[in-house]
Amino acid sequence: MKTNNSDPDYYNWILQLKQKFRQTQIKAAVQVNQELLKFYWDLGADIVEKQETTNWGSKFLNRVSSDLMEAFPEVKGFSLTNIKYIRKWYLFYNQPNIIGQQAVDQLGKETVVSQSDTTIGQQFVAQIPEWSIEQIFLIPWGHNIAIYLKCKSIQEAYYYISNTIRHGWSRDVLIHQIESGLYHREGKAISNFSQTLPAPQSDLAQQTLKDPYIFDFFTMRADFNERELEKNLIEHITKFLLELGAGFAYMGNQVPIKVGTRDFSTDLLFYQTRLHCYVVVELKKTDFEPEHVGKLNFYIKAIDEQYRQKGDEPTIGLLLCKSKDKVVAEYALSDINKPMGISEYRLTNILPEELKSSLPTIEEIEAEFRVLKPTNTKKPKR
């Protein structure tokens, strides 16, 4: 009997073949990328060594590029620009004494250094944990260039390498994260997690929050209010979720809560898939005030009572304010029994007052359109 796409067994078999082949393609691409980057690493090491031990002149890199391009005209990686990138990439990770033992302990899982892998250079092996070496070769060359050009230390570079692998960041997303200083912001929020959550959950919750959050993806008036800030964040929800970080799922804004005979609503509600809990986000246009904590504590309690399901961890609160006094914030959280963090936010696109006054309002634009609207609405003769 002839089989075709309408045969379920045949159709499922073809789907399995397609999936298997795609997985093979991905593995092949990853393997090619790893081997290419290892070749680049060896090339960078050779170039540095030859420049130090020979007198081949200032045009050495030009000659290397020209000879390799002539031998492999179909390969784009041997341009003079890329040869220079390869040399600087190698040198970046071979800065002397850049990683102390404490930093190595923080970076490595089991910091066992192998001296037998001669393909990646003895100096590099001596400086960096074994697992980190392999990570460098797991991300594309364009990502590697962006990281070493924009990062100031190897520790910072490894942070972005590991997160690129973990979250599958594109190069544009990676560059955005570096330029927004994610390395310096992650895990920096003031919180009471260590007192209100068990150790594994509290550590992960702390690393999930940032300080400050950067909202540079929309423009606000200088005299914006909290509802306008909320509205803009929702309108740019994809970029907002990227700034919040991995694992945040948007559940809604102005989420209704009924307590007794009164109606309340939270500004923003998310579910954190890594923490397995709801996250209540409250927005404040003003500087932090101690009374903000009491209101957020009330909302956390209500979400726990009305939305939390079996298997969910305790709800977490995040208060985003214009600025804060660290001591006041820590003091305000000291006796709160619900887990919450306090962070600042930065708005980089603020419309100045003097410019705002020169622009027409929405009402003025609508009025102008009404004046210009033609009075003759008859259809033209054909």
pLDDT 10s digits, 204-228: 999 999 999 999 888 887 788 898 9
Q: Give domain status of residue 201, yes or no.
A: yes
pLDDT at 367: 57
Query: Within this chain, do residues 32 and 124 fall inside the same structural domain, yes or no?
Result: yes
Q: Give domain status of residue 145, yes or no.
A: yes
Query: Within this chain, do residues 195 and 171 fall inside the same structural domain, yes or no?
Result: no
Query: Within this chain, do residues 301 and 157 fall inside the same structural domain, yes or no?
Result: no
Query: Within this chain, do residues 165 and 82 fall inside the same structural domain, yes or no?
Result: yes
Per the structure, the count of domains in the chain is 2
Choosing from 179, 214, 246, the residue where a domain stops is: 179
Average pLDDT for 157-164 = 93
Q: Give domain status of residue 127, yes or no.
A: yes
Lowest mean pLDDT among 84-93, 211-220, 308-317: 211-220
Q: Which amino acid, 37?
A: L
Query: Within this chain, do residues 166 and 214 fall inside the same structural domain, yes or no?
Result: no
Q: Give domain status of residue 13, yes or no.
A: no
Choosing from 125, 160, 179, the residue where a domain stops is: 179
Q: Give domain status of residue 16, yes or no.
A: no
Contact 341, 189 (CB under 8 A): yes
Q: Residue 106, Cβ neighbours under 10 Å: how many?
A: 13
**361 secondary structure, DSSP code:** P
List, in sequence order, the alpha helices (H) in the chain. 8-53, 60-71, 80-92, 101-107, 122-127, 130-136, 141-150, 154-167, 171-179, 182-185, 193-196, 199-208, 226-235, 237-244, 291-306, 326-333, 353-356, 362-372
Whether residue 196 is predicted with pLDDT greater than 80 in this model: the reply is yes
Query: Within this chain, do residues 38 and 99 fall inside the same structural domain, yes or no?
Result: yes
Q: Give domain status of residue 5, yes or no.
A: no
Query: Within this chain, do residues 173 and 204 fall inside the same structural domain, yes or no?
Result: no
Query: Within this chain, do residues 205 and 342 fall inside the same structural domain, yes or no?
Result: yes
Residue appearing with tokens 């073809």: 14
Average pLDDT for 371-377 = 48
Q: Give domain status of residue 128, yes or no.
A: yes
Higher per-residue confidence, 75 vs 118: 75
Lowest mean pLDDT among 28-32, 74-78, 150-154: 28-32
Whether residue 73 is predicted with pLDDT greater than 60 in this model: the reply is yes
What domain range is 42 assigned to?
21-179
Lowest mean pLDDT among 128-142, 317-331, 339-353: 128-142
Choosing from 179, 207, 231, the residue where a domain stops is: 179
- Residues 167-178 have pLDDT tens digits of 889 999 999 999
Question: In this structure, what token pair is assigned to residue 284?
Answer: 């404040």
Query: Within this chain, do residues 132 and 250 fall inside the same structural domain, yes or no?
Result: no
* Mean pLDDT across the chain: 83
User: 3-state DSSP call for residue 277?
Assistant: strand
Neighbouring-strand partners of residue 257 = 264
pLDDT at 95: 76
How far apart CA 37 and CA 141 sit, in angstroms, is: 7
DSSP symbols for 63-78: HHHHHHHHH-TT-STT
How far apart CA 151 and CA 136 sit, in angstroms, is: 14
pLDDT at 15: 84
Contact 45, 121 (CB under 8 A): yes
| Exposure b/e, 259-285, CB count within 10 A at least 16 = b | eeeeeeebbbbbbbeebebbbbbbbbb
Q: What distances in angstroms separate CA 208 from CA 57, 167, 187, 277, one per listed residue? A: 51, 14, 6, 12
Torsion angle of the four alpha carbons 347, 351, 352, 353, in this order, in degrees rounded to the nearest 10: -120
Whether residue 381 is predicted with pLDDT greater than 70 in this model: the reply is no
Whether residue 97 is predicted with pLDDT greater than 70 in this model: the reply is no
How far apart CA 297 and CA 189 sit, in angstroms, is: 17
Query: Within this chain, do residues 198 and 346 fall inside the same structural domain, yes or no?
Result: yes
Provide the CATH number for the domain around residue 197. Answer: 3.40.1350.10
Query: Within this chain, do residues 73 and 164 fall inside the same structural domain, yes or no?
Result: yes
Query: Within this chain, do residues 244 and 304 fall inside the same structural domain, yes or no?
Result: yes
Whether residue 59 is predicted with pLDDT greater than 60 in this model: the reply is yes
Q: Give domain status of residue 14, yes or no.
A: no
Lowest mean pLDDT among 11-25, 34-48, 128-142, 231-245: 128-142
